[in-house]
Amino acid sequence: MPIDGETKIVAIVGDPIAQAKSPELFNALFERHAVNAVLIPLHVPPAKLGAVLDGLRGVVNLAGVVVTVPHKIAAVAYATDLSAAARQTGGANCLRRETDGTWSGAMFDGIGFVKGLDACKHVVRNKSVLLVGTGGAGAGVAHALVDAGVASLDLFDSNTESLQRLEDALRSRGGTTLIRRSTPSAQPMHDLIVNATPCGMHAGDPLPIDLTGAGPDAVVADLIMKPAQTRLLEGAKARGLATHLGRHLLESSVATMAAFLRLVP
């Protein structure tokens, strides 16, 4: 669909941004629904996030902003209103521009991840999970896994402040899921092993998780979308383990995010 004076704009902000798959998926969705909208990538360093979001508030034909690494936690500070998931996780991956120029924030990473697992027939209820990375995406995934009824959730992050914040938030919910602090090493009891860190996005990155102790039936998931086959997933495949690609999260949440932005039904 050609861009014209009536086109609704959506931006995705991140640092880096070259790895983002959102333009491809969102623009394909707009094409399928014959929606006059386009999503464009903006490379925004953390120090410039506030200035960029303040400026975008004044763009009347801007529908909203998709938020990716490393801005998901910081983005909530700019939202006047937050969805339940955004409040719960302390992060937002989508900001909707309201008619008065304020932002409404929401978090779809967690539900998108769980929906993606379900679509690939990976059951999480009553399973044991190792989650490495407790930032914006990791927090969203953690809460969604608890909502989905996992039996235990082992957490690791080299950022102890982020780790403690998520531990406290999960324990404050109550419920039956066992929350534990762990190491970035898979154990035979782990049914699902998840990398929610950016480690693996660049050539030469170290492995974020040691798979040496993983059981033969474990599923290894990586939230990174580019490269599609990270070193972690390649290592899992070499061990004969099932793998789950990062694209499944976004593919399972694009339509919901576009609906939040009031661009599709």
Inter-residue contact 154 to 128 (CB < 8 Å): yes
Bridge partners, residue 62, by sequence = 9
Counting Cβ atoms within 10 Å, is residue 256 exposed (0-12), middle (13-18) or buried (19+)? middle
H-helix segments, 100-253: 109-119, 136-147, 160-172, 231-238, 247-251
Is 226 marked active-site? Answer: no
Choosing from 21, 48, 72, 121, the catalytic residue is 72
In a 3-state reduction of DSSP, which class is residue 160?
helix
Q: State the Rg of the chain over Cα.
A: 18
| 263 contact partners, CB below 8 Å, separation of at least 6 | 8, 10, 30, 35, 37, 63
Catalytic residues, which ones? 72
